[in-house]
Amino acid sequence: MFILSIETSCDETAAAVIQSEAAGLSLLTNIVSSQIKLHAAWGGVVPNLAAREHLKNILPVIEEALNAAGVTKGAIDLIAVTHGPGLIPALLIGVGAAKTLSYLWDVPLIGIHHIEGHIYANFLHEIKSEEVEFPALCLVVSGGHTQLVLMKKHLNYEVVGETQDDAAGEAFDKVARILGLGYPGGPAIAAAAANYKLQMTNDKQSASQQTKFKISKEILTTRHQLLNTTLPRPMINSKNLNFSFSGLKTAVLYLVKKNKLLLKNEKFVAEVAAEFQQAACDVLITKTISAAKKYDAKTVMLAGGVSANRELRKQLGAAIEKELPNVSYMMPAIEYTGDNAAMIGAAAHFRWRNISEKDRQKFKNNWKNLETDANLKLNA
């Protein structure tokens, strides 16, 4: 069967076509129209602007997905759409389009939780990984969520830890703004931090070739600023599995306020970016390992926009190898870490095969019933 999936919960208008069979799923097309440039001017996503763009793009994106997949409208067996959580004006466009098509084409409609989609992005690139071992512990890190989710089986979720304030992605975005690195902040921080690492390696090499006195004064000053200043790792030693990122962001803000002139210094900015990224990774990884141990997880998964972060991917992998050598580690392919519709289709593939033939009939009426919910709970 063919599934058309739609995602418009934030600033990406996305549609995908998935072929879903008993043996597994295969992704035929994944079209994403990003609004990042539009929102960058505002330093963040403006809900009504996002809705306007979704309205402009939604049908062309769906048409493109169908054409690229070589699948006609008549061949679609199921429509899947993100119905929460997210920005209501944005969600309404995707859900409105999905309901209309479900009614016109007379095909069932299923609502998917956005975070469930992010988790199921793990099942897009390796069909074999459908045989994942449970319990699985999933670190969900996006612009709106930071959660540790325990899955005892497919489609079963228990949130065992979450952020008490900002989400990890939100912290990356806010710190990037403080450092003047632009929007979206995650990739900008990661790039600055990678530059810093490179710089340090080069400096070390050239320092070893020169006498001590030849190292530029600027480098010494810049290093000095941070060598004496480690950013906090909030809640890293707390007994629970929750997170807090707003204090970390505020620590960066104070550091920068004290050193305003240094904001003009690329090396200083890169150094703060690297230290912030490391602080965030340290907390995320420590809590994930604790949770995996506590719940005897057989698998650890990464999910959400921040899972594109290469340091997080690498360092979490290394921590698992060291501390939990018998646990498997899954992460979505980089291209499916951000918002997309392929992940919504993947979640729909798993949901649909779990629904009995009789119950499937009800989904034909979902064009009347499906609602959007900005705060939709996982497992609701």
Kindly tell me the burial class for residue 205, based on how many C-beta atoms sit within 10 Å of its own C-beta (0-12, 13-18, 19 or more): exposed
The 282-311 site mask, x for binding Zn ion (CB under 5 A), equals ------------------------------
Residues interacting with ligand KG4, by CB under 6 A? 10, 142-144, 169-170, 172-173, 184-187, 190, 304-306, 308-309, 338-339
DSSP states of 237-303: T-SSS-B--HHHHHHHHHHHHHTGGGGG-HHHHHHHHHHHHHHHHHHHHHHHHHHHHHTT-SEEEEE
Taking CB under 5 A as the binding criterion, the range among 164-172, 256-264, 321-329, 334-342 that sits at the site for Zn ion is 334-342
Cβ closer to ligand KG4: 89 or 169?
Answer: 169
Choose from ligand KG4, Zn ion, none: what does 332 bind? Cβ within 5-8 Å by kind: none
CA distance 105 to 179: 50
Taking CB under 5 A as the binding criterion, the range among 76-84, 226-234, 332-340, 372-380 that sits at the site for Zn ion is 332-340
Q: C-beta of 344: minimal distance to ligand KG4 in Å?
A: 12
Cβ closer to ligand KG4: 166 or 271?
Answer: 166
What are the tokens at 208? 């070893």
CA distance 107 to 92: 19
Cβ closer to ligand KG4: 66 or 301?
Answer: 301
Choose from ligand KG4, Zn ion, none: what does 108 bind? Cβ within 5-8 Å by kind: none
Cβ closer to ligand KG4: 78 or 178?
Answer: 178
Q: C-beta of 296: minimal distance to Zn ion in Å?
A: 28
Cβ closer to ligand KG4: 20 or 142?
Answer: 142
Q: C-beta of 219: minimal distance to ligand KG4 in Å?
A: 26
Choose from ligand KG4, Zn ion, none: what does 187 bind? Cβ within 5-8 Å by kind: ligand KG4
What are the tokens at 328? 């498997």
Taking CB under 5 A as the binding criterion, the range among 127-135, 171-179, 250-258, 331-339 that sits at the site for Zn ion is 331-339
Q: C-beta of 60: minimal distance to ligand KG4 in Å?
A: 21
Cβ closer to ligand KG4: 2 or 120?
Answer: 120
Cβ closer to Zn ion: 30 or 142?
Answer: 142
The Cα diameter of the chain in Å comes to 80
**Amino acid occupying residue 254:** Y
Cβ closer to ligand KG4: 69 or 281?
Answer: 281
Exposure on the CB side of residue 286, measured as CA atoms within 13 A:
17
339 lines the binding site for Zn ion (CB under 5 A): yes
CA distance 375 to 354: 25
CA distance 75 to 243: 45
142 lines the binding site for Zn ion (CB under 5 A): yes
Cβ-based neighbour number of residue 342 at 10 Å? 31
CA distance 76 to 68: 14
Q: Mapping DSSP to helix (H, G, I), strand (E, B) and coil, where does residue 66 land?
A: helix
Q: C-beta of 43: minimal distance to Zn ion in Å?
A: 19
Q: C-beta of 68: minimal distance to ligand KG4 in Å?
A: 22
CA distance 115 to 141: 10
Q: C-beta of 321: minimal distance to ligand KG4 in Å?
A: 21
What are the tokens at 216? 């530029």
What are the tokens at 197? 């690492």
Choose from ligand KG4, Zn ion, none: what does 308 bind? Cβ within 5-8 Å by kind: ligand KG4
**Amino acid occupying residue 199:** Q
Cβ closer to ligand KG4: 94 or 187?
Answer: 187
CA distance 275 to 309: 14
Task: Catalog residues that contact Zn ion under the rule CB under 5 A.
Answer: 142, 339
